[in-house]
Amino acid sequence: MAAPAAPATAGRIALRHRLADRGMDRTLLLLVPAVVFIVALFIYPFVYGLQLSFQPQPGSETVQRYGSGPFADYHAFFADSYLRNTIWTTLKLSLPAGLFNVIASVPIAYRMRGKFRGKRTITTILVVPITLGTVLTAEGLLAFMGPTGWLNRLLIDVGIVDHPVRFTHNYWGVLFSLIISGFPFAFLLTLSYLSGIDPTLERAAATLGAGWWQRFRFITLPLLAPGLAITFCLTFVLAFSVFPSAVMVGDPSGTTRVISIAAFHAAFEQYDYSMASAIAMIMGAVELIVVGLVLGWRASLYRGASGGKG
């Protein structure tokens, strides 16, 4: 009785071992929640939106003007300069915001690495804006930088300007708000990339005659650049999807009519979900192009170990 059972057991064990060799064992089950989450909240809506964008809504303006072919909504978007220009409007906000956040975070993170008293306090202050929602940030900006806000009162009292300067309800208001909400991300990422660079490398460079700028230029910056590329991509994508602040502190019908406003307009004012989906897809494509260019540049950099002890 036992004799025939033995080979079967051996076979089962062998199979399990063979699977384990390829990294397949029961710990894979830990991935289930993540897979469900991604499929339900990302892949399904994305695919749904993608197919919706190829089915122009009957009776919509698109169908009347460009027919009901699968690319009619895309055709409509690029034919209408009012829609098409939202790409540039958004890029004009998100590229400078992303660049500024990365460039500004480098010197601050550079100064903040290592240990010193009060580091935790300063980090907390720098990171607090993450916890404020965009709406709160926008409200704050209106109160602080509006025509009767503290900033303008100060500028007038000091005598720098005669009339209140317009900081809000225009391009600058949105840019400020993107910087306030994007900088903490950029700073935290840059700080962690910088902390990963072995500080003895700079000391070695110093003993070889490199001054602080040369140490930064030839040692730290090249080792940090791949991390900065990733940081830029993340803050850029965050800024590209700007919506509440473009409405609240911007000029949503003019200089800050960003692409997400166009999508919102199509979906909830014209009830043209196909057009809204097409705009969302275009939005994604533009982001992918920018991210792809940055990552392509990053691939040409040194990306190996950057020291660290041992």
Please give the Cα distance from 102 to 229 (Å, whole number).
9
Please, what is the minimum distance in Å from the beta carbon of residue 300 to another protein? 12
* Structural tokens at position 283: 């939005």
Nearer to another protein (CB atom), residue 151 or residue 206: 206
Nearer to another protein (CB atom), residue 51 or residue 195: 195
Please, what is the minimum distance in Å from the beta carbon of residue 227 to another protein? 13
Nearer to another protein (CB atom), residue 219 or residue 282: 219
Classify residue 88 by burial, with Cβ atoms within 10 Å: 0-12, 13-18, 19+. exposed
Footprint of another protein (CB under 8 A): 198, 200-201, 203-211, 214, 218-219, 222-223, 302, 304-307, 309-310
Please, what is the minimum distance in Å from the beta carbon of residue 307 to another protein? 6
Please, what is the minimum distance in Å from the beta carbon of residue 274 to another protein? 49
Please, what is the minimum distance in Å from the beta carbon of residue 119 to another protein? 18
Please give the Cα distance from 130 to 202 (Å, whole number).
32
Nearer to another protein (CB atom), residue 69 or residue 211: 211
Nearer to another protein (CB atom), residue 223 or residue 261: 223
Please give the Cα distance from 9 to 265 (Å, whole number).
64
Q: In terms of C-beta distances under 8 Å and separation of at least 24 residues, what long-range contacts does 107-111 make, across chains too?
A: 108/187, 109/187, 109/190, 109/191, 109/194, 110/194, 110/216, 110/220
The answer to whether residues 126 and 189 touch, using CB atoms and an 8 Å cutoff, is: no
